[in-house]
């Protein structure tokens, strides 16, 4: 059975507000389906949304702010003892970088995460055409990050 995500799930993944996600829905940038009166999204819906050109600039700006907040010690979402921010550049063609991104997303959404809770993990991805690189920015506990990095090897 395919896993379905809520507006709240996407907002958390994208580090955006639910209102922003609902605006993307209203504008047709994000597609999904209503089940029981609530929006639900497949992994494919989310990939299309994340790869949307109009969303890319919003993500780039948000990523920069999130990294600056991390450096400045501003992180109201995290309550654990240790959190790591990793910026991983994949100097590869877009298709290859996206395959690796998909493997990391699959890990995040699976039970393979060895019981590590991604509830306070944040993941952002962008592809920078001018530099021919995919960039994954991951905020996570150290053990979670180690497992994600193993996937990228």
Task: Tell me the pLDDT of the chain (153 aa) as tens digits.
Answer: 778 999 988 887 776 778 888 888 998 889 999 999 999 999 889 888 877 766 767 767 777 888 888 888 776 556 667 778 899 999 999 999 989 988 887 787 665 555 554 456 677 788 888 999 998 888 888 888 888 899 888
Q: Same domain, yes or no, for 76 and 131?
A: yes
Q: Same domain, yes or no, for 43 and 98?
A: no
Question: Which residues constitute the domain of residue 9?
Answer: 1-51
Q: Cα separation of 113 and 103, whole Å?
A: 12
Last residue in a domain, options 51, 72, 91:
51
Where is 125: in which H helix or E strand?
Answer: strand 122-128
Last residue in a domain, options 9, 27, 51:
51
Domain count, the chain: 2
* CB distance 140 to 148 below 8 Å: yes
Q: Output the pLDDT for position 111.
A: 55
- Return the half-sphere exposure (C-beta side, CA atoms, 13 A cut-off) of residue 70: 19
For residue 132, what is the domain's CATH number? 3.30.1370
Q: Same domain, yes or no, for 33 and 92?
A: no
Q: Same domain, yes or no, for 74 and 97?
A: yes
Indicate the length of the chain as a whole number.
153
Residue among 149, 136, 151 at smallest CA distance from 87:
136
């Amino acid at each position: 059975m395919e896993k379905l995500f809520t507006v709240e799930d996407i907002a958390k993944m994208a580090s955006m507000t639910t209102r922003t996600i609902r605006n993307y829905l209203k504008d047709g940038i994000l597609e999904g389906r209503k089940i029981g009166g609530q929006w639900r999204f497949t992994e494919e819906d989310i990939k299309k949304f994340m790869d949307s050109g109009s969303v890319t600039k919003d993500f780039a700006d948000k990523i920069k702010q999130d990294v600056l907040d991390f450096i400045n010690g501003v992180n109201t979402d995290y309550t654990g003892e240790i959190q790591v921010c990793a910026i991983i550049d994949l100097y590869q063609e877009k298709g290859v970088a996206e395959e690796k991104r998909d493997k990391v997303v699959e890990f995040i959404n699976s039970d393979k995460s060895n019981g590590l809770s991604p509830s306070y993990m944040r993941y952002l991805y962008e592809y920078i055409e001018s530099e021919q690189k995919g960039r994954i920015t991951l905020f996570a506990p150290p053990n979670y990050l180690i497992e994600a990095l193993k996937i990228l090897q």
